Structure 1
């Protein structure tokens, strides 16, 4: 296999001669916080690569594989760390690029709440340094597209994970500077696999540098401070159906999703016919043999799509696991944590009251989402409390219903605390309560209170939207719902039953 560029976490010094003989002209190497980390690019390696004419593109990565790795504070710290190492240790020439990693399949909510603020802070830190270097991103197609559209990066390096959100479309757009391919074993006697890369010759350059040479200056356009968040259409991954899928299952939409995903990630061709037959089983065998579970453990090679194989196919966010939550937390905290974990779940298609995750919420209340279009705000709450109750080892305290008005009526016959509209204040309402609205004609809306701030509450709601219109299509946090309104029935507290 002839390749012209590669990236590796290994020191390449002793392989430079082989790489040149094999036609390598560029290499991706790491900057990181821990300067004793063996994967970090060292001064001698950078000089020897440069002397051999092999351009370097650095990527700053400490972990960056989950939402908690990103914040405005961390972005500022990491940018300053990367700038210091580039300028004062490697002597990286001005005008070249530094990539930052988001090495996972981020959702729209994670992008909006974590990744975007992180990169806004990076842009500010680079600007304070005089925009000496350009900023790049290594990630999924959706994240690359969103950051590029927001003016927060100039360079994009598209991850090899073809199943990540937006990656096939961004790859086809050829807006990437670097395209990563699947790992290659045994190249130039590297101890571990290396990743081949393609440099996009349609774009002027990719931010690479040679120590001692001046890079081509490139203007950096800083995003406007008031720019609206990018909307890159992050597709929601289908939720695990709650049971293993295996050979002999026929006419199943879940099987079809698996078949389509196997094709997307290169383990087809499999006809998406909804029937789990021999061809589908063989493709699952092949996938399990070549992949690991999200926790790094080997997948069972049994041809059965259980939760671990589903998570490997679609990403860990597609499988809800109660193991991720602390059973010692009070019920009140658990329901808030679980509800927050679902922020970003959206209907597929929008406006349908359907979707893989939405269907799970609806089915929990005993309804079949294929039979009718069901508003699902209460279904979401019932599911949240069901998961929290499971963690605490008790029964779901909510009455089993999908209706807001029915929930309000039934709650009065349970041990739930009921706070009527006339009793509402910032002293009687507290986090973990459910608000209930009567919208007339038997219709209503409900959501979970996560904080009380004076005359308004902060909530997490299903079948809503982030802007406040009547077009409810997902699970979102709402920051300015009034504590009381004319259509309010009141608040219900099931957390201490």
Structure 2
């Protein structure tokens, strides 16, 4: 895989504990981030806590609450094994063995794997678009300016391409920009404009990438198309929310009406 930053999010340097002599601020922030992410899917767990790199009594109690929720001894310390359990959703999303028999099937399978592991962004030091999921999609970058919808889409395509020993950069350049991918699609004859798609909807295929057009050469959001039903496409998108925002909070499964939105489609046919 080309986009393999996620591996750096799967480990800490040493055991971390309250006022520990081997504590590292970055490692503690990783732990605090995963405790907060766990609380999103388990709201009764009481694991949400500040993300400041200080392993104090609040972080210790949040760790104990996580251990209690998972049926473990409540030590309040984070070993390598415990951290592996905290960040297991990320490992599952990126390393789950795949079974798809075609590239398009693999794209959908990978996207579903990520979705079910609940990728969310966090707010850290006042910055949205932060946390381990965002850094994994954005090659270590995070913070408010780093809209991550294209980083997510390319991570999915990269993972699927790697499963068949291909490189997604043969399809499009590695980028975080919807405009770069849209322009590449035009130059390669792989981007179909929304006007054509409304006349020829059969050109929309599962595994393709949609690009939401703001103006003719300006695209503001992207995601993976999972299927087309009548006037509707179903999608899996990063950095979105219930309103379909291009700067939301999570990976979500959505429906969009391609006849009412300016949705262009980038075909992944060269890898299929």
* Partner deviation per Cα, 1:258-289 (whole Å, 9 max, x = no partner): 38989x99xxxxx9548xxxxxxxxxxxx9xx
Query: Aligned partners of 1:260, 1:386: CA distance in 2, in Å?
Result: 25
Larger Rg: 1
Note the alpha carbon deviations across 1:360-382, whole angstroms, 9 max, x for none: 1112xxx6225x62111111101
2:192: which partner in 1? 419
Aligned-partner Cα distance in 1 for 2:33–2:253: 32
Q: 1:309, 1:330 → 2: CA distance?
A: 36
Name 1:241's counterpart in structure 2: 8
User: Contact 1:359–1:369 at 8 Å: present in 2 too?
Assistant: yes
Q: 1:431 aligns with which of 172, 194, 206?
A: 206
Pair 1:392-2:167 in alignment: no
Deviations along 1:133-188, whole A, 9 cap, x unmatched? xxxxxxxxxxxxxxxxxxxxxxxxxxxxxxxxxxxxxxxxxxxxxxxxxxxxxxxx
**Partner in structure 1 of residue 240 of structure 2:** 464
Shift of 1:420: 2.4
- CA distances 1:412-447 after superposition (whole Å, capped 9, x unpaired): 345x73322232132111111111122259551111
In structure 1, the partner of 2:231 is: 455
Unaligned runs of 5+ in 2: 1-5, 15-20, 36-44, 47-51, 56-66, 73-77
Give yes or no for contact 1:240–1:310 (8 Å, CA) kept in 2: no
CA change 1:360–1:451 in 2 (3 A) is same
In structure 1, the gaps of 5 or more residues are: 1-238, 266-270, 275-286, 293-302
1:485 CA displacement: 4.1
Query: Which among 137, 140, 143 is matched to residue 361 of structure 1?
Result: 137
Contact 2:107/2:157 (8 A) holds in 1: yes
Aligned equivalents of 1:374, 1:494: Cα separation in 2: 25
1:475 is the counterpart of 2:251:
yes
Change in Cα spacing, 1:322 to 1:374, as seen in structure 2 (3 Å) is closer
Match among 329, 332, 335 for residue 107 of structure 2:
335
Aligned partners of 2:100 and 2:106 also within 8 Å: no
Output one character per residue of 1:443-483: Cα deviation in whole Å (capped at 9) or x when no partner: 5111111010111111111111124456622111112x112
Query: Could you state the TM-score of these two structures normalised by the residue count of structure 1?
Result: 0.38
Q: Alpha-carbon deviation of 1:329?
A: 2.3
Calculate the aligned-residue CA RMSD, in Å.
3.8
Residues 151-300 of structure 1 correspond to what in structure 2 (within 5 A)? 241-242=8-9, 244-247=11-14, 252-258=25-31, 273=54
- Return the alpha-carbon distance in structure 1 between the equivalents of residues 27 and 245 of structure 2: 32
Shift, 1:336, TM fit: 1.2
Alpha-carbon distance, 1:410 to partner: 1.7
| 1:254 CA drift (Å) | 3.4
Q: Report Cα offsets for 1:178-222 as digits up to 9, x if no partner.
A: xxxxxxxxxxxxxxxxxxxxxxxxxxxxxxxxxxxxxxxxxxxxx
Structure 1 SS opposite 2:206: coil
Question: 1:73 is matched with which residue?
Answer: none
Q: TM-score, normalised by structure 2?
A: 0.65
Match in the other structure for 2:92: 320
Q: CA 1:246/1:311 → structure 2, altered by over 3 Å: closer, same or farther?
A: closer
Where has structure 1 moved over 4 Å in runs of 4 or more? 247-252, 259-262, 271-274, 440-443
Shift of 1:333: 1.2
By how many angstroms is 1:402 displaced? 0.8
Q: 2:221 aligns with which of 438, 442, 445?
A: 445
Spell out the pairing of 1:59-98 with structure 2 (5 A cutoff).
none
Distance 2:261 2:23 in 1: 50
Q: Name the structure 1 match of 2:262.
A: 487
Q: Which protein, 1 or 2, shows the higher relative CO under an 8 Å CA cutoff with sep ≥ 6?
A: 2
